[in-house]
A and B are shown apart, each in its own frame.
Chain A
Amino acid sequence: MSSVFFMLTMGLYFVSTVCYLAYLLRRAETLSKVSLGITAVGFATHTVALAARMTDTGQAQLPTFHEALSFFSWMLILVFLAVEFRRQLHVLGSFIVPLALISLVTAAAFRSDEASTLQPVFKTLWVHVTLSMLGTVGFAIAFVAGVMYLIQDGLLKSKRFNVLYAKLPALDYLDHLNQQSIVMGFPLLTLGIISGAFSAEIVRGTYVNWNPEQTWAMVTWGFYFAVLVGRLTIGWRAKRAAYLTIIGFAGVILTLIGVVLKSHGSVS
């Protein structure tokens, strides 16, 4: 059942992505409502898919890369729906929903139904994966805010007052969204890394062994730490912050690739 709902979700997010991208170019506001509706339905089917998989396999399975990405995409849409509900920032959907779709498609590529049984110690892995993915959601939103900032900045600078200009929010709002997302994401990633280190200690007896995943995770963590401190102390905000968070998110993706390279599908 889980796979049916998963495919359904992917289809819905695909349609929603198309609608949201069309919305960017069109004057009509109705398209955003249609897209939002489709996204909401997609979110519901996704929730069912996730719940079904949980009950299918139970917790007695290693958290796989597939589940991590699927969960990431689910959280991303949840955050988007919350922001949209409070601020009616339709244009955010045009950036976040495609990102959620990409992550779902990637998740689909790593889907495996063979259940590997889990030793009791591995349960800490669930904590590690969940926290890391929540942190990643924060960075993803910061990334989206950064991209939107750079677009709006470019439009203002070049004086192209087009449809996109009208739809994107004020620069300082995007900058604020960028900051908030990092402020939320950073502590979660920190906890994710710490719980990961504990898991590693239990499994292998060492906290850190500098495999590609861990190396990139540490580099990413240090980078975001610098971004956050720089912003709060020496004014790394606005355009610079937008660039930095985009680079940072690239680091996050490299980390995830590191995970795949290391384990071919299972996070450990």
Chain B
Amino acid sequence: MHVIVVGLSHKTAPVEIREKLAVPESRLREALSRLCAYPGVREGLLLSTCNRVEVYAVVEELESGYGRVQEFLADTHLSLSSEHLTPHLYWHAGDRAIGHLFRVASSLDSMIVGESQILGQIKDAFEVALTHKASGLLLNKIVKKAISVAKRVRTETKIAETAVSVSYAAVELAKKIFSSLAEKTVLLIGAGEMAKLAARHLIANGVRQVRITTRNFQHGLELAQRFNGTAVPFEDYRTELAGADIVLVSTGASHYLVTADDVQRAMRQRMSRPMFLIDISVPRNIDPAVRPIDDAFLFDIDDLHMRVEQNREDRLREAAKAEQMVVEEVAVLGQWLQSLEVTPTIVALRSRTEDIKRREVDKMLARLAHLSSEDRAAVEALASAIVNKMVHGTMVTLKAEATSSSGAAYVDAARRFFNLEDIAAVCPAEHADASERPEGSPTGNGSGRLPESSFIQHTSKEQGRRVR
């Protein structure tokens, strides 16, 4: 069985392709059942956002699995053919597929690295797959792990801490002047798009008092309603300054609306409570002579841009740390997947029962010192017989179900019933008979070469793939 991902994203496909492939929420259920109806596809998860469409699946065979999923993607839109899609798709299998999901969930693959929306979208996609039983043991575990990896990245790196848009940079600066925005008042002079966006961010971060003034009073009233604020006549903007902790200016005026004198007067009235002025207009509407005034902090569009640029660099630095975490986590999950292989489980089961038998027999024989050597052999034979009969059924079932769709579930169950979790899963070299392996064989973890398991083949096909 193989875990694979086939999909495309903003990095490989233009929006014209992405929008065609995108599956609306209402059709997600139908799409999933279509996906799982393909022969050889055992589990499926469909992630469809405006920046990416990806199918995660557990398939029986790698090559045919890739082909089926690609067919499925091509079928989602009439005007798309499989050949059409090929140049935009990526294919990953095994731990590369898992690593890809981890990176996507941690927002390392996002257009804006560190944005938080994607995690919610993955949770939603998973929810749908769960309710329609499209995902099973493997995908459930992998997606849950992806979500926890994303959370770890979020808490252990600063990838999501900094502002990456000009409008949000304003909020970030505001927070270095005011520790809490809750009691603060924002004054909007003019209402350019960016100013509106910044105002929305400020409100989302706790600002409750919004006062708006525009040349067109009617427009101001409408905006005030939208922001739950108050409209004030444009003539009054100078007198409004003193009451505002944050002033956002963006008008089309070609001269300075707010002068140094205005601010000086306002600062006197404010008894030097700090004031944060943001000038998003070009040409500028706040006189740069405001800058030296004590306790008034003026930032213009260039300052905000500079801040965003610095933050972007910071994020990339943090992203490198996050990538390292993803590698670690993929390795952890890889171990679990290996443990689901039948052979190592049978080895572990055998060694566990052998252990128990050995201990109990030794204990008993030590007490029965008077027994003859034949009697001792008989006791040992009895113990072996009981143990072997006890686990025989389990072994047979495991072997029989190894290739069935629920094989992994049986393996998981056996490992739990017999408490094999602490016995590291070792996948013996290919074709080696499990029974020939000595007890206490070296663990796969950390002792040199990791045995290849079919779950973690390092297969990736980025390009040049053609489907018949």
Contact = CB atoms under 8 A, between A and B. Distances in A.
Interface residues of A, number: 20
A161 B310 contact: yes
Contacts of B177: 156, 170-172
Contacts of A169: 179
A165 B311 CA distance: 13
Nearest to A159: B303
Interface stretch (B191-199, B271-279, B442-450): B271-279
Interface stretch (A91-99, A130-138, A211-219, A232-240): A232-240
A152 B271 CA distance: 20
Interface in B254-306: 270-274, 291-292, 294-295, 297, 299, 303, 306
B274 A234 contact: no
A157 interface: yes
A237 B271 contact: yes
Instruction: State the main secondary structure of chain A at its contact with B.
Output: helix
B272 A171 contact: no
B176 interface: yes
Contact of B178 (A172, A238, A239, A240): A172
B178 A159 contact: no
B179 A237 contact: no
Interface in A145-159: 152, 156-157, 159
B272 A172 contact: no
Contact of B176 (A152, A176, A237): A152
Chain B interface size range: 20 to 34
A161 B271 contact: no
Contacts of B306: 159, 161
A170 B272 CA distance: 16
A159 B299 contact: yes
A157 B297 contact: yes
B307 interface: yes
A173 B176 CA distance: 9
A157 B291 CA distance: 7
Interface string A39-50: 000000000000
Nearest to A171: B177
B272 A238 contact: yes
A134 to B, nearest CB: 27
Contacts of A235: 270-273
B409 to A, nearest CB: 42
B65 to A, nearest CB: 44
Contacts of A157: 291-292, 297
Nearest to A240: B272
A173 B179 CA distance: 6
Nearest to A237: B272
A239 B179 contact: no
Contacts of B274: 171-172, 238
A234 B291 CA distance: 23
Contacts of A161: 306-307, 310
A76 B141 CA distance: 51
Nearest to A233: B271
A79 B171 CA distance: 31
A176 B292 CA distance: 23
A238 B295 contact: yes
Contacts of B299: 159
Contacts of B175: 170
B176 A239 contact: no
Contact of B179 (A156, A172, A234, A240): A172
A196 to B, nearest CB: 35
A265 to B, nearest CB: 43
Contacts of A176: 179
Nearest to A165: B176
Interface in A203-255: 234-240
Contacts of A168: 176
Contacts of B178: 170-172
Nearest to B174: A170
Nearest to A176: B179
Interface in B302-334: 303, 306-307, 310
A-B complex: 8 closest residue pairs judged by Cβ atoms: A235-B271, A170-B179, A173-B179, A238-B295, A238-B272, A171-B177, A239-B294, A172-B178
14 contacts: A156-B176, A157-B292, A159-B303, A159-B306, A169-B179, A170-B177, A172-B177, A172-B178, A172-B274, A235-B270, A235-B273, A238-B272, A238-B295, A239-B294
Interface of B: 173, 175-179, 270-274, 291-292, 294-295, 297, 299, 303, 306-307, 310
Interface of A: 152, 156-157, 159, 161, 165, 168-173, 176, 234-240
Given A237-B272, A238-B272, 20 more contacts: A156-B173, A156-B297, A159-B299, A161-B307, A165-B176, A168-B176, A170-B177, A170-B178, A171-B178, A172-B274, A235-B270, A235-B271, A235-B272, A237-B271, A237-B273, A238-B274, A238-B294, A239-B272, A239-B294, A239-B295
